[in-house]
């Protein structure tokens, strides 16, 4: 395949910023060029140096004022919840029963799953998200539909069918009866097929027996490169229920530890109401706490304490959690993260937010160097961002002094309208 060039203002993070103003944490090239070949980045740097390396007939897309960044990564999202988003008036357990389990049962129909998988992937691309770690429904065919659709687009998705065997409607528990065998089958078919990867997905401790959680843990031993995703310490009633179901365990986090579900490949959504021992357990095991601000505010779950977990050495990722979350946009998600932190007297510098949703989330899902950065060898998954995409943003940008302030405008006011283009493995995903 011939090379192509994507030209504009390049921004990619090298490491986690230590705070606002940490200009050593990123690489910025004002007139930059990304050279793409066979879906990967061949070179990235100053256009003045790289333009002459492109073959004369290579197409070049030029975005003079736009920022070109690595595509966003959403490490916690539910693809069967595209019609659960914006469900009124309930907190977690009631919200699950009243809205979520109802919609997820519809994924027994493979046609419904296929249509929703295409919608989901379109919507991610429109928002500049190039990789997501997605929960599927309890029906293995729902995971099959998502993987097949993502594979056709050469989009790198991580997904798993939700494992559950109690405390849910028969419509979800019955297909999940063979959940472990079905997960194993899906891992064999899809984990490492093209860009697809598998995440073993016990929904949460309430919907699985200890026996099933142990079987999920055994899958992680059997397949040492698959990920694990579940929910943890999101809501007070949820935590009380887990205590009743697992009376011998000292904490909710300990339940997952007991069944081999903690570790560097484990993504734990929410982590709001942790006690000190639970924080220590997350740190010791290298597990990832996934901060889902729009969801935590919308479902009324509580405030994620970023500073407490970061200073304890817990790995942190940032995600939408659609349909508990209210936006597919990682920009909106960063804006809400900022507000959740403000409510606790903390700050989220724009540099840290953009590092989190690119390089940081890539590291969280075990794909450091593959995605989330603009460096040779990485997939050419890119987002082209326009900080003047609305009149209000353009007006605000008139007095913006530097890159960091531009990033803060983007995360505070930006959404899908700020996404001019999204490249997936070097190919434009949006109609020009
Ligand atoms: N806990 C168990 N399942 C879910 C879910 O679908 N969404 C959220 N936010 N929390 C959960
Ligand atoms: Zn979730």
E strands, 203-277, where? 227-232, 266-270
**Burial of residue 107 (number of CB atoms within 10 Å: 0-12, 13-18, 19+):** buried
Model confidence pLDDT, tens digit, residues 263-290: 999 999 999 999 999 999 999 999 999 9
**Burial of residue 102 (number of CB atoms within 10 Å: 0-12, 13-18, 19+):** middle
Which ligand 1 atom is at minimum distance from the Cα of 299?
9
d(CA 320, ligand 2 centre) in Å: 9
CA gap 322, 294 in Å, rounded: 9
What local confidence, expressed as pLDDT, does residue 178 receive?
A: 87
Nearest CA to ligand 1 atom 1: 231
d(CA 116, ligand 2 centre) in Å: 17
Nearest CA to ligand 1 atom 11: 231
Longest dimension (CA), the chain: 69
Which ligand 1 atom is at minimum distance from the Cα of 206?
2
Which ligand 1 atom is at minimum distance from the Cα of 292?
9
d(CA 322, ligand 2 centre) in Å: 7
What local confidence, expressed as pLDDT, does residue 403 receive?
A: 98
| pTM for this prediction | 0.98
CA distances from 141 to 117, 147, 285, 389 (A): 11, 10, 32, 39
What local confidence, expressed as pLDDT, does residue 314 receive?
A: 99
d(CA 231, ligand 1 centre) in Å: 7
Q: Residue ranges of the chain with pLDDT lower than 50?
A: none
d(CA 215, ligand 1 centre) in Å: 21
Binding-site residues, ligand 1, Cβ < 6 A: 78, 92, 96, 100, 203-204, 231, 234, 295, 321, 324
What local confidence, expressed as pLDDT, does residue 1 receive?
A: 61
Phi-psi region of 6 (alpha: psi -120 to 50; beta: other; left: phi over 0): beta
Q: 7 pairs with which residues across the strands?
A: 33, 62
Pocket test for ligand 1, best of 74, 102, 204, 271 (most atoms within 8 A of CB): 204
Pocket test for ligand 1, best of 213, 234, 239 (most atoms within 8 A of CB): 234
């Amino acid at each position: 395949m011939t090379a192509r060039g994507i030209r504009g203002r390049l921004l990619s993070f090298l490491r986690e910023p230590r705070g606002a103003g940490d200009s050593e944490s990123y690489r910025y090239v004002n007139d930059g060029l990304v050279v793409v070949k066979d879906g990967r980045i061949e070179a990235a740097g100053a256009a003045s140096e790289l333009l002459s390396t492109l073959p004369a007939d290579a197409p070049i897309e030029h975005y003079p004022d736009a920022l070109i960044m690595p595509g966003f990564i959403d490490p916690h999202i539910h693809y069967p919840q595209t019609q659960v988003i914006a469900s009124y008036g309930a907190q977690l357990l009631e919200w699950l029963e009243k809205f979520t389990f109802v919609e997820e049962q519809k994924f027994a129909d493979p046609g419904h799953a296929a249509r929703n998988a295409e919608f989901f992937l379109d919507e991610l691309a429109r928002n500049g998200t190039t990789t997501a770690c997605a929960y599927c429904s309890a029906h293995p065919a729902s995971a099959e539909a998502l993987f097949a659709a993502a594979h056709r687009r050469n989009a790198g998705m991580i997904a798993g069918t939700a494992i559950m065997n109690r405390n849910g409607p028969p419509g979800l528990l019955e297909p999940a009866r063979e959940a472990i065998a079905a997960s194993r089958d899906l891992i064999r078919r899809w984990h490492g097929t093209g860009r697809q990867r598998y995440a073993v997905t016990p929904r949460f401790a309430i919907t699985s027996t200890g026996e099933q959680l142990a079987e999920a843990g055994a899958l992680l031993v059997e397949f040492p490169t698959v990920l694990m995703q579940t929910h943890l310490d999101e809501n007070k009633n949820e935590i009380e229920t887990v205590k009743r179901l697992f009376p011998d365990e000292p904490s909710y986090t300990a339940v997952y530890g007991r069944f081999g579900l903690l570790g560097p490949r484990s993504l734990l959504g929410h982590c709001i109401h942790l006690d000190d021992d639970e924080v220590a357990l997350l740190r010791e095991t290298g597990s990832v706490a996934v901060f889902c601000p729009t969801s935590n505010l919308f479902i009324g779950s509580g405030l994620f304490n970023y500073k407490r977990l970061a200073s304890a050495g817990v790995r942190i990722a940032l995600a939408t959690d659609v349909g508990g979350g209210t936006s597919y946009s990682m920009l909106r998600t960063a804006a809400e993260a900022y507000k959740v932190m403000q409510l606790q007297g903390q700050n989220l510098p724009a540099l840290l937010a953009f590092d989190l949703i690119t390089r940081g989330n890539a590291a969280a899902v075990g794909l450091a160097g593959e995605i989330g950065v603009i460096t040779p060898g990485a997939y050419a998954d890119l987002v082209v961002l326009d900080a003047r995409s609305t009149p209000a943003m353009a007006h605000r940008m008139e007095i913006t002094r530097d890159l960091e302030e531009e990033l803060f405008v983007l995360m505070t006011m930006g959404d899908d309208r700020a996404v001019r283009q999204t490249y997936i493995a070097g190919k434009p995903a949006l109609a020009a």
